Amino acid sequence: MKARHKRLGFLLAGLVGLGVATWLVLNALDSNLSYFFSPTEVAQNKAPADHVFRLGGLVESGSLQRGREMTVRFVVTDNANKVKVEYTGILPDLFQEGQGVIAQGRLGPDGVFVADEVLAKHDENYMPPEVADALKKGHEEGVAGMQKL
């Protein structure tokens, strides 16, 4: 074998190795990303059905139900649409009806969002920017719908 054929072989092997390493890194990053969706976007089927994502909005007043074995059910709304949420675990101390919340999990086949983690706002003045934007957008859509009537 000539020296330039050996160099070409090493170069091709290096490129294949680099390609495999890049694919592995991108695959790992993709499985760890969780995008934010509002209840309106979930209702419009914009949220992935088979991937973890974050759902944010307000906990609807009167929707909190405590079940067996630390299972809690509640409804998250952006004042335009609602999504039922089910969570098994200990809720944050600041979690309450009428307050902002972000839940991370997956959408079940029955349309119920099964949360692995629930985050509540940390004081009375703060609301995560994603939740504030979703509520504003939901309110604008609700007002536009009322004006059409």
Q: Does residue 148 surpass a pLDDT of 70?
A: no
pLDDT at 115: 94
On whether both 17 and 76 belong to a single domain, the answer is: no
pLDDT digits (tens, 9 = 90+) for 61-93: 999 999 878 899 999 998 889 999 999 999 888
Q: What is the mean pLDDT of the chain?
A: 83
Which structure tokens are listed for 10? 């090493």
On whether both 134 and 85 belong to a single domain, the answer is: yes
pLDDT at 94: 85
CB < 8 Å & 24+ apart, contacts of 40-48: 40/78, 40/80, 40/81, 40/134, 40/137, 40/138, 40/141, 41/134, 42/81, 42/83, 42/107, 42/113, 43/81, 43/83, 47/107, 48/107
Identify the bridge partners of residue 103 per DSSP, sorted by sequence position.
55, 118
Confidence of residue 147 (pLDDT cuts 50, 70, 90): very low
On whether both 82 and 114 belong to a single domain, the answer is: yes
On whether both 40 and 12 belong to a single domain, the answer is: no
- Quote the number of domains for the chain: 2
139 is in an annotated binding site: no
On whether both 56 and 121 belong to a single domain, the answer is: yes
122 is in an annotated binding site: yes
pLDDT at 22: 93
- In 3-state terms, what secondary structure has residue 119? strand
pLDDT digits (tens, 9 = 90+) for 29-52: 776 777 889 999 998 988 888 788
Are residues 53 and 30 in contact, defined by beta-carbon separation less than 8 angstroms? Answer: no
On whether both 13 and 82 belong to a single domain, the answer is: no
Mean pLDDT, to the nearest integer, of 112-120? 92
Domain span including residue 92: 34-148
